[in-house]
Amino acid sequence: MAQKVLKELPIFVHFALTFGPLIVLIRDHILGLISLDDARIMQITEASWDGVKR
């Protein structure tokens, strides 16, 4: 955070915004609700990064 790359949020909020959605997506993939191919993983990664970057 010294480089001001991330939004000014407590680190626990960053963890929640990062790992919460990932856990749900992995669970949904395991349950067969969604397919996680390379393109979808890239979309999810970009959307997640957009949520926490400045």
Domain assignment of residue 3, yes or no: no
Domain assignment of residue 1, yes or no: no
What does pTM read for this prediction? Answer: 0.73
Helix, strand, coil shares, percent, the chain, to 5: 65, 5, 30
CA distance 26 to 48: 14
Domain assignment of residue 28, yes or no: yes
Indicate if the pLDDT at residue 1 is higher than 50: no
Domain assignment of residue 25, yes or no: yes
Would you place residue 51 in the very low, low, confident or very high pLDDT band (cuts 50, 70, 90)? confident
User: Residue type at 25?
Assistant: L
Return the SS3 of 22: helix
Q: What is the mean pLDDT of residues 20-43?
A: 95
CA distance 51 to 27: 21
